[in-house]
Amino acid sequence: MRVETFLKRNYQLHHVIVIPHYDDEIIGCYQLFVDAVSKPNKAGNDSIVIMPVFCGEPGVVESDSHRRQESLQAMVYFRSTLGKDTDNIGICAPISLGALSSSILGYICGTGVRSSTKLNCIWFPDPLYEKHPEHILIGNFGPLMSSVATQNNPASNNVLFGYYSINMQAPYVQPLSCKEADGKARVCEIFTSQAGYFSSHGEATRFEGRRLA
Ligand SMILES: [Zn+2]
């Protein structure tokens, strides 16, 4: 059973997906978007915020503006094709690596989280299985933030930390059903700037999985 399916038995989920690059949210977490827009539970839909983090010079972010547009188009696709024009998925402004820990701490200590009846899930690239240097670098904030949160923050019992991987060799990554794989491939096609990646990494559209910290 998927970890999110297990969690949803009792809670409405609010996801924060930390991404080093636009498209990582789809490669690693496509199923979370499908759930959020198309599978409401009694309490209402799950919600998702994508948190882009950049490691390099400011100019790199500017060159990412085209890729950001692709991620925004993917959100429109989810809403218009699978959902009922919901506004429960979105992308925040990119933050620098230096601001990542304060952004996450600010989030988990915020009144929104403390008073929330939702279970908050913060997803990082998996520092154990990722291969891209920026994924490893940003992913290593996951265990750090998780330990800081559990030691210092009384609100942390409604915050969970988890990991996704774009490395489809990670042990918890599983084949998707044909229907899911077709849907994921369609969303990946929106990322035209990454067509070369997807043609040489076809497995990225056919597999997926996450683990909790
Ligand atoms: Zn990436």
How far, in Å, from the CA of 165 to the mean position of ligand 1? Answer: 10
How far, in Å, from the CA of 164 to the mean position of ligand 1? Answer: 11
How far, in Å, from the CA of 33 to the mean position of ligand 1? Answer: 18
How far, in Å, from the CA of 108 to the mean position of ligand 1? Answer: 24
CATH of the domain at 59: 3.40.50.10320
pLDDT tens profile 79-100: 888 766 568 899 999 999 999 9
How far, in Å, from the CA of 22 to the mean position of ligand 1? Answer: 7
How far, in Å, from the CA of 40 to the mean position of ligand 1? Answer: 29
pLDDT tens profile 119-155: 899 999 999 999 999 999 999 999 999 988 877 665 5
How far, in Å, from the CA of 10 to the mean position of ligand 1? Answer: 32
How far, in Å, from the CA of 161 to the mean position of ligand 1? Answer: 19
Distance, CA of 181 to CA of 206 (rounded, Å): 5
Domain that holds residue 12: 3-212
- The 3-state DSSP class for residue 162 equals strand
Task: Catalogue the E-assigned strands of 7-164.
Answer: 13-19, 47-54, 89-91, 95-96, 119-125, 159-164
Taking the chain (213 residues) in runs of 10, the rounded mean pLDDT of each run is 84 93 97 86 81 77 82 93 78 92 88 78 97 95 89 70 97 96 97 96 97 94
Number of domains in the chain: 1
How far, in Å, from the CA of 64 to the mean position of ligand 1? Answer: 12
Which pLDDT value is given to residue 62?
59
Distance, CA of 140 to CA of 130 (rounded, Å): 10
How far, in Å, from the CA of 146 to the mean position of ligand 1? Answer: 21
How far, in Å, from the CA of 190 to the mean position of ligand 1? Answer: 16
How far, in Å, from the CA of 19 to the mean position of ligand 1? Answer: 7
How far, in Å, from the CA of 23 to the mean position of ligand 1? Answer: 7
Is 191:70 a contact under the CB 8 Å cutoff?
Answer: yes
Kindly report the pTM of this predicted structure: 0.93
Which pLDDT value is given to residue 152?
64
Task: Give per-residue burial for 62-90: e unless 16+ CB within 10 Å, then b.
Answer: eebeebbebbeebbebbbeebbeebebbe
Which pLDDT value is given to residue 40?
63
Work out the widest C-alpha separation in the chain, in whole angstroms.
Answer: 46
Residues 6+ apart with CB under 8 A from 163: 123, 124, 125, 126, 127, 128, 129, 139, 142, 210, 211, 212, 213
Task: Catalogue the E-assigned strands of the chain.
Answer: 13-19, 47-54, 89-91, 95-96, 119-125, 159-164, 174-175, 207-208, 210-212
Which pLDDT value is given to residue 109?
80
